[in-house]
């Protein structure tokens, strides 16, 4: 299928936060992001529903924007109890291993618990949580052009194999529970 348009980049990704000011300050002070925009409305533009919110935007470099919603009239925010905490996260790229290690030292100096560096073969990363409970990752690429090309080549093959294996393994998992 030919798609009749081209994506140019991610405009922004949006998450919920407990406190917009605390979140904007935390991302600026700990990750150097620039707080660029804030919208406060009583009604959701896309649905018209009454739901007061503060929507903030932070530039994390290269025109990449992360945004947050503070929703004071909604129940306290939580997380998906069926998804492990390590799965859902936001990963930001740093230039190299020296920057990664400097980030780790800086974050730990701010009293933030940091896991890693963790070696993933083609990149290394560190992990920590923001004040809202969102898991964050800082990663630096260490792979070669040949490694990235090979990973791209085998990606469809690996996904096909996973799909076949997953389907055939599912009945075994269910049988083991019975």
Q: In the predicted model, is pLDDT for residue 8 greater than 70?
A: yes
Pair 43, 102 in one domain = no
- Answer yes or no: is 6 within a domain: no
How are beta strands 34-43 and 135-141 bridged, if at all? Answer: unpaired
Q: In the predicted model, is pLDDT for residue 69 greater than 60?
A: yes
Pair 96, 140 in one domain = yes
**pLDDT at position 168, please?**
59
171 or 168: which carries more pLDDT confidence? 168
Pair 89, 73 in one domain = no
- Answer yes or no: is 121 within a domain: yes
User: How large is the average pLDDT for residues 23-48?
Assistant: 97
Query: What residues make up the domain containing 145?
Result: 85-157
In angstroms, the Cα distances linking 58 to 40, 86, 91, 166 are: 15, 23, 15, 39
Across the chain, mean pLDDT equals: 93
- Answer yes or no: is 164 within a domain: no
Instruction: Quickly state the pLDDT bin for 20 (edges 50, 70, 90).
Output: very high
Which residues are 57's β-sheet partners? 37, 67
Pair 97, 72 in one domain = no
Of 3-17, 80-94, 106-120, 164-178, the poorest mean pLDDT is in: 164-178
If you search the block for the tokens 């690429």, which residue do you land on? Answer: 141
Pair 40, 94 in one domain = no
Say what percent of the chain tops pLDDT 90: 87
Say what percent of the chain tops pLDDT 70: 94
Pair 89, 151 in one domain = yes
54 near 20, Cβ under 8 Å? Answer: yes
pLDDT in tens, 46-65: 999 999 999 999 999 998 99
- Answer yes or no: is 162 within a domain: no
User: How large is the average pLDDT for residues 28-47?
Assistant: 97
Instruction: Quickly state the pLDDT bin for 9 (edges 50, 70, 90).
Output: confident
How are beta strands 123-129 and 13-17 bridged, if at all? Answer: unpaired
Q: Any idea what the CATH number is for the domain that residue 55 is in? A: 3.10.180.10
Pair 128, 100 in one domain = yes
In angstroms, the Cα distances linking 6 to 9, 10, 106 are: 9, 12, 39
pLDDT in tens, 105-145: 999 999 999 999 999 999 999 999 999 999 999 999 999 99
Pair 53, 15 in one domain = yes
User: How large is the average pLDDT for residues 95-112?
Assistant: 97
Pair 61, 104 in one domain = no
Number of domains in the chain: 2
């Amino acid at each position: 299928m030919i798609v009749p348009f081209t994506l140019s980049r991610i405009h922004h990704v949006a998450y919920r936060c407990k406190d917009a000011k605390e979140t904007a300050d935390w991302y600026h002070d700990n990750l150097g992001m620039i707080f660029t925009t804030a919208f406060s409305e009583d009604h959701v533009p896309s649905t018209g529903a009454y739901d007061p919110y503060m929507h903030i935007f932070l530039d994390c470099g290269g025109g990449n924007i992360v945004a947050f919603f503070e929703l004071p009239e909604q129940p306290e925010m939580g997380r998906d109890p069926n998804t492990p905490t390590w799965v859902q996260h936001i990963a930001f790229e740093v230039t190299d291993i020296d920057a990664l290690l400097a980030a780790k030292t800086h974050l730990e100096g701010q009293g933030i618990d940091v896991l890693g560096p963790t070696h993933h073969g083609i990149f290394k990363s560190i992990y920590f949580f923001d004040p809202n409970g969102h898991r964050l990752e800082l990663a630096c690429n260490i792979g070669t052009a040949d490694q990235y090309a090979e990973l791209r080549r085998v990606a469809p093959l690996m996904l096909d194999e996973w799909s076949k294996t997953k389907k055939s393994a599912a009945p075994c998992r269910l049988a083991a529970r019975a």
